[in-house]
Each structure stands twice: as C-alpha cells, then as structure tokens.
Amino acid sequence: MKTHRNHANYWAFVLHRVSGLALLLFLPAHFYVLALAVEEAATLDMFLSWTEAPVVKLLETGLVILLAAHMTGGLRILAIEFLAWRDWQKSVVAITGGLSLAAGLIFLLNAG
C-alpha cells in the first residue's frame, strides 16, 4: 500500500534515525575497545586479529556507510534549517547517499 511516507526525504529521515541509533550502540563499544589499548594489550590484540576476518570487514564497511550516512544526512538537515531553501532536495538526498556509499567503498578498498 502506498503511504504518505513513500518519498525520498522520508526515507532519508528513516536512515538518519536508524544510523543515529546504531551510532549510539556502536560508540560505547568503540571506546571500550580503545580503552583496552591502555589496560589490556593482549585482549586488544586478540580483538584486532578477530577484525581481520573478511566477514567482520564487511560488517565494518556497513558501519562506515551508516556513519557517513548520519554525518552527510545530518549536514543535509542542518542546511535545510539554517540555509535558504533549495528546490532540489531530492538531489541533495541522492548526493548524501552517493557520498556515504563512496565512503564505504574507499574503506573496503583499503581494508583488503
């Protein structure tokens, strides 16, 4: 069923919320792992060797894309709120999506 939600800017909002919540879950884990560098070098090394696995690399790529999507999407929203209105909002959504995927691709290419 078609609904009032089925348009580019609404999907961009959904992505922004999902990526924001994902960041909220990811960051504490990220800081915990960084803290290991100081406290428990051996555990960190074990974790780092785990991250060498290809499937983990793929998951990390997803994370990079979500991070990039939240950042570009956040800048898009701030532009709506603080700059003059532009009529090409759908193109802006497409650009933020493209930049996020590009960020993921660059990460993946450097990961191999």
Partner 1 sequence: MSNDTLTVEIWRGREEGEFQTFQVPRMASQTVLDIVTYVQRNLDPGLSYRFACRVGVCGSCAMTVNGKPRWTCRTHVDKVAGDGTLRIQPLKNLPVIRDLAVDMTEFFQKWTRAQAHFVPTATRGDDFAQVSPDDPRRKEASAGIECINCGVCYSACDTVAWLGDYLGPAALNRAWTLVNDERDGGQAARLKAIAGAGGCQSCHSHQSCFELCPKHLNPTAAIAGLKRATVKAALKGEI
Query: Rule CB under 8 A: which residues touch partner 1?
Result: 1-5, 7, 9-10, 13, 77, 80-82, 85, 89
The site string for ligand HEM over 1-40 (x = CB under 6 A, - otherwise) reads ---------------xx--xx-xx--x-------------
Q: Which does 24 bind (CB under 5 to 8 A by kind): ligand HEM, partner 1, none?
A: ligand HEM
Residue nearest to ligand HEM (CB): 74
Tell me if 77 contacts ligand HEM by CB under 6 A: yes
Alpha-carbon span 106 to 39, nearest angstrom: 32
Minimum distance from CB of 13 to ligand HEM (Å)? 6
